[in-house]
């Protein structure tokens, strides 16, 4: 079964990452690279997104679409990346998510 894992950063996590020293930050990034390597047989695609301030949003509705710089909503949580995984079932996806070493929220959705 295919799922998408969306890695969600919180404001608190972003502040903690920013406050880290260079060696501590490198270790954090190394843990993420190791997680991807350890799970490479199940990951079919993954992307790290540019920071939220680089977003462009198109709001559709009545009238002309409105294009604005920035995210759809200012929120305390933002998706920083995602990985598509091919696993046996949701339980296996959950085991992978529980071992994610970075941002504190992982949303898992089936691919339809």
The full set of domain ranges for the chain reads 2-110
pLDDT at position 56 is 86
Residues 35 and 28: their CA atoms lie apart, in Å, by: 11
CATH top-level class of 2-110: alpha beta
SS (H, E, C) the chain: CEEEEEEEEEHHHHHHHHHCCHHHHHHHHHHHHHHHHHCCCCEEEEEECCCHHHCEEEECCCCCCEEEECCCCCCCEEEEEEEEEECCCHHHHHHHHHCCCCCCEEEEEECC
User: What is the percent of the chain with per-residue pLDDT over 70, rounded to a whole number?
Assistant: 96
pLDDT digits (tens, 9 = 90+) for 29-83: 999 999 999 999 999 999 999 988 888 888 888 889 988 887 655 667 888 999 9
Kindly state the average pLDDT of the residues 94-105: 96
């Amino acid at each position: 079964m295919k799922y998408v894992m969306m890695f969600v950063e919180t404001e608190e996590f972003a502040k903690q990452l920013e406050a880290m020293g260079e060696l501590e930050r490198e270790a954090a990034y190394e843990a993420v690279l190791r997680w991807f390597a350890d799970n490479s047989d199940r990951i079919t695609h993954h992307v790290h997104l540019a920071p939220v301030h680089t977003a462009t949003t198109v709001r559709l509705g009545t009238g002309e679409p409105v294009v604005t710089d920035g995210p759809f909503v200012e929120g305390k949580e933002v998706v920083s990346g995602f990985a598509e995984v091919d696993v046996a079932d949701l339980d296996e996806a959950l085991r992978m998510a529980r071992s994610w070493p970075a941002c504190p929220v992982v949303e898992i959705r089936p691919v339809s």
